[in-house]
Amino acid sequence: MRFVTIVCGVVLNLALQAPAHAAAVPSLDRLGDSSRSVRLRTARQFSETAHPDAGRTVDVLVRAALAEQDPRVREFLLQGAYVQGFYLGKPGDGRAEAGKRALSALFATHADAFGALLQSGDLPTVENALRLCHGADQALPVPLVTGALGALQLAHAPVRQLAIEVLALAPRDPAVDEAIGRVARSDPSTNVRAAALMFLAKRGDASPATSALLREALASGDAQMQQGALRALARMGPPAEGAFLDLVLELVAHPPEAWGPAHQSTNSWNACMTAAAMAKVRSGEVVETFVGMLGNDRRAELAIEALGRMGPAAAAAVPALERTAAAEEATPGIQTRVAKALATICAGAAEGTDP
């Protein structure tokens, strides 16, 4: 009986507390309090509890951050603005769109002040400001581009990588491309150099300097750099075929030991999909390479997927794919993959045939 009384008391106590906790929404008015501890506590709350008006909340938090002199409070204000606009809530509830609209208006009227945050040198401030720029997902005004370029000089590699992703939103500018090229050549972080390569590929930069960087990355023996180069070349597609297809096919046919087992390797996957994305003039050679892999139990899945992605350009592989699916040792998984690839190849061929 005593146990039941205790349990009921605990449940009642929780029930009485629940409404107050559920209704605890941070007050925007307290961000202007003269007490640092009050401002800090309030700013931190915005990283945990969704405010009903995301657009206004992002606007007020960013304006407060621009005026805040205390780096720690400013850090949480910027973090709270990002969380309110792009993290809390549910997909499709309009919070992200409201956050983007608020940031767009702020960037138009406070670009210099926001750019100054990016150049403050304070890592938490710069990182959270960069996250907001990235979440805004729009062309950035010059002061923000300048600030993001400055962030490339900071010691924290994740911040430099985030700065590259933000600079991808900037209008095309040779000075920006040149700065990213320097990062791709000499940054001490492999991840940052790989991100720089992807940036250049997204820009469609096929200059001799970028081509040399990609070639060097493919031949580097560094699995992370090779991955970045392969993804960049896949992004560039057929324009990169003439200069790089031989190198990529060599990696497809003879994957480096450092990549590990081919059927488990992300880089083997990237190499195959890159060759499929690049192949245009020499598609027959690429198809032949993949058909040669169909008899390899551990690499057949890669080849089947790549041939499917080539669409009608892989029409010559249809007989080999059909034999692979009909083979006695073919697993249900292989048969399903082949059926999917054949459907894509044949559908694409049919679309390209005149009635």
Q: Which residues contact 25 (CB under 8 A, 6 or more apart)?
A: 49, 50, 51, 52
How much of the chain, in percent, has pLDDT values that exceed 90? 52
Which of 105, 137, 171 is the C-terminal boundary of a domain?
A: 171
The answer to whether the CB of 132 falls within 8 A of the CB of 100 is no
Q: Which residues contact 227 (CB under 8 A, 6 or more apart)?
A: 194, 266, 267, 270
- Give me the phi and psi of 277, to 5 degrees please: -70, -30
Residues belonging to the chain: 355
The answer to whether the CB of 38 falls within 8 A of the CB of 84 is no
Asked if pLDDT for residue 262 goes beyond 60, the answer is yes
pLDDT digits (tens, 9 = 90+) for 200-254: 888 777 678 788 888 888 888 888 889 889 988 988 888 888 889 999 999 998 8
Q: Which residues contact 238 (CB under 8 A, 6 or more apart)?
A: 277, 278, 279, 280, 281
How much of the chain, in percent, has pLDDT values that exceed 70? 89
User: In angstroms, how far is the first alpha carbon of the chain from the final one?
Assistant: 84
Residues 213 and 344 in one domain: no
Tell whether 186 is covered by a domain. no
Q: Which residues contact 311 (CB under 8 A, 6 or more apart)?
A: 344, 345, 348, 349
Residues 208 and 295 in one domain: no
pLDDT digits (tens, 9 = 90+) for 292-308: 999 887 889 999 999 99
For 329, other C-beta atoms within 10 Å of its C-beta total: 7
Tell whether 323 is covered by a domain. yes
Tell whether 114 is covered by a domain. yes
pLDDT digits (tens, 9 = 90+) for 129-185: 999 999 998 889 999 999 999 999 999 999 999 999 999 988 888 889 889 989 998
Task: Tell me the C-alpha distance between 199 and 165, whole Å.
Answer: 7
Residues 250 and 332 in one domain: no
The answer to whether the CB of 345 falls within 8 A of the CB of 314 is yes
Residues 39 and 166 in one domain: yes
Q: What is the mean pLDDT of the chain?
A: 86
Tell whether 119 is covered by a domain. yes
Residues 163 and 68 in one domain: yes
Residues 269 and 327 in one domain: no
Please count the structural domains in the chain.
3
Which of 138, 171, 204 is the C-terminal boundary of a domain?
A: 171
Q: Tokens 């949480």 — which residue?
A: 76
- Residue 334 is predicted with a pLDDT of 92
- Residue 351 is predicted with a pLDDT of 61
With bands split at pLDDT 50, 70 and 90, how would you rate the model's confidence at 86?
confident
- Domain of residue 207 covers 192-281
Residues 345 and 235 in one domain: no
The answer to whether the CB of 151 falls within 8 A of the CB of 187 is no
Residues 155 and 47 in one domain: yes
Residues 148 and 243 in one domain: no
Between 210 and 318, the higher pLDDT residue:
318
Q: The domain spanning residue 121 has which CATH number? A: 1.25.10
The answer to whether the CB of 124 falls within 8 A of the CB of 131 is no
Residues 262 and 292 in one domain: no
Tell whether 243 is covered by a domain. yes
Tell whether 19 is covered by a domain. no
Task: Tell me the C-alpha distance between 332 and 72, whole Å.
Answer: 57
Residues 291 and 276 in one domain: no
Which of 281, 310, 338 is the C-terminal boundary of a domain?
A: 281
Six-digit token string for 95: 């919070």
